Structure 1
Amino acid sequence: MPVALACPIVLTAAERERLKKMAYGHKTQHRLRCRAQIVLHAARGRSNARIAHETGLHLDTVRAWRGRFAHGGLSALADRKRSGRPARFTPVQIAGTKALACQLPAETGVPLSRWSCPELAAELTSRGITDTISASTVRRWLREDVLKPWQYRSWIFITDPDFRPKAERVLDLYARTWEGEPLGANEYVISADEKTSIQARCRCHPTLAPGQARSMRVNHTYGRGGAVAYLAAYDVHRAQVFGRTEPTTGIDPFMALVTQVMNQEPYASAKRVFWIVDNGSSHRGQRAVDRLTAAFPNAVMVHTPVHASWLNQVEIFFSVVQRKVVTPNDFTDLSEVADRLRSFEDRYNATAQPFQWKFTTSDLDDLLARLDRHTADRHEESSVALAA
């Protein structure tokens, strides 16, 4: 019987370059590297038997990939689509799983606060929605729709009837505007607040520095050395921080911070200094406004809305302090806490830049509109439930 001739292979310059990268690339998958080598050998006019001998592959393998390239080109070297194992679960079962994950466990009579993938898998089996199913399968289904029922976020309704005008005043000050007029060069904006209960935790064994393949180690057991309050005033546009530590918070410690700032330049001779504060007990209400104005006539107190401390930029600085100074907490006594905070202020002020505040009054209007829609939907759902 006549012997079938091997398929002739003729490569273009681009195909040859591509095949060389596949055949000798460090990140190329092994199966693709072998297929590329087969084609390159074939393009040199070598027989299938010789290619099989030089590459260590079976003769049938060489014949198959040489023929596929001859008829389909480079794209034929990729794996063909395979049907794979038949699906074990139906689309209805998958949809039922996602629907269950989107319900609170208490609504279904399950004594859990939130779902986990193992709990969902067990509930699916007990309800007869599926047969035995693994938690990893449930997790893969939920990942398709970015569902994470084991996570949660807290939220609060707006209770301040003057939320928008109060928030707008704060945002305008960040944009260097007050009552529609731009601020002058000798007008400043200060964001102030207190960070309460910074503890001095003296670890019972020394903290170990990080080493090769080892993170820093902090002993879990500690002795309590008391706690202090850290009061800070942050100049929004100059990115300068003025802080002090006090045994506790209150009106007197806050006014001491105000005095510390207002007795130095450029604030002492400024036309106006706006103090943005939240509604904490140290500076709440009209009495706090009158107290500040009586002590410093060029100071103007501006309150954020109730439950809106996130509008106060000094909270961002406090988050920096928490990450870079306080955590992990390892101080021998309260004096070391105070010294560390003062030293960090100097270090921060030497290189700080103003925060890139991007939340504007337009964003505020969008937020309030979304909250209004959400509130309306919830009221509608409640009315329907009561009518039923």
Structure 2
Amino acid sequence: MLRRIAPGQVKIGMFIHAFDESWLDNPFWRTRFLVKNTTDLDRIRESAVSSVVIDERRGLPLKAGNPCQGAPTVPTLSDPASSPRSASAQQQANSFAEEAERATQMVRAATDEIKNLFDAVHGGEVVNISAFSSTVVEVISSIKRNPRALIAITRLKSRDVYTYVHSLSVSALLTSFGRSLGMNEMEVYELGLAGLLHDIGKIFIPDTVLQKPVSLTDEEFAVVRTHPERGYHLLRQDPTTPDVVLDICRHHHERVDGTGYPFRLKGEGISRVARMAAICDVYDALTSNRAYKSAWTSQQAITKMHRWVGHFDPDLLLAFMEVIGVYPPGLLVRLPSDRLAVTLLNGRRASRAKVRVFYCARTRTPLPLHDVFIEDSASDNEVLSEQVPLDWGIANWSVVAEQLMDGKTPRLPSKPLFS
């Protein structure tokens, strides 16, 4: 039985199932473990968390007469998080290198845990959504400390563990995506959980099909296309599964033009979170080594995705580009400072997207060419929106874009066709 208690009530011999509250003040890189010594005990009691969840089946139970006697069993995911922590209680941000080392350890452990959980369900055990909570906690914590490290580490997945690390990677991408869009803590948590479980229906698909090194037959592809619906019905077995998780599991292969599956939903008929998940799922698949193809670079993947008109929500895709810091080269974009710019190649070692400013949208006048990096948060150098070149009187944008990317000043119309 899971039970929530105060940190001061933790004792040696108790099994920690999760750190509660904001999930960001975890004093350990893992959240599920047996408290074996006073060092661990002191770290828990001195941490910023206000409560922890113990598993009484795997460790010392809460004894009768304890001041917390009668505390309710923790309802897995339907119990909303309490108020967010103050900024002073948040975990300190890490550099990429610091978090990458920590994320590498987490990915190894979490991959084994996800595989074991998937195998247990495949073996006939009832789905227990709470079993995935500690992994989501770790994903959120890592993204909070450094939004790029965990995503980078999960891209190094090998073919033999693709299914499990793909789930972890989509969880990390959705978590980061949700945070960038200003979603609240519980919404971000449920997105992370949905990422872990979006492909759980694939446990019913034969490995000979999933790992086939050549193109699938029509019959085999029809089998693969059953996984969203089979996963959805599997997750419904646990009544605590959030609606967001069910929605994303069932609809992450729908396309905005109505050509997706399983229901050929179209446009606003697909929820916003499912449209977000579709982007994260495809991006990670394209940037991963698969049995039948080698990984594309981030720039190659996002450029292809941008060209697949009708597959993705264009506004969400642009927002996702900001999350990963990669844009297709040659886009016409507008910055919040009312400057127009063309997106540039990131370069092999660059970690941030870069644009070349060339025009003032407010005064309708050309500007000297200069490059700026796109920031992760709102600023004058954040991409506001993609622009239609014809709206600015530019009929030959491909030529103008190429000139700009080569560092040449093109001839521009004196004023746009539309203000």
Q: Is TM (by shorter chain) over 0.5?
A: no
Larger radius of gyration: 1
Q: Which structure carries more helix by proportion? A: 1
Instruction: Identify the structure with bigger relative contact order (alpha carbons < 8 Å, sequence gap 6+).
Output: 1
Alignment TM-score, normalising by the size of structure 2: 0.21
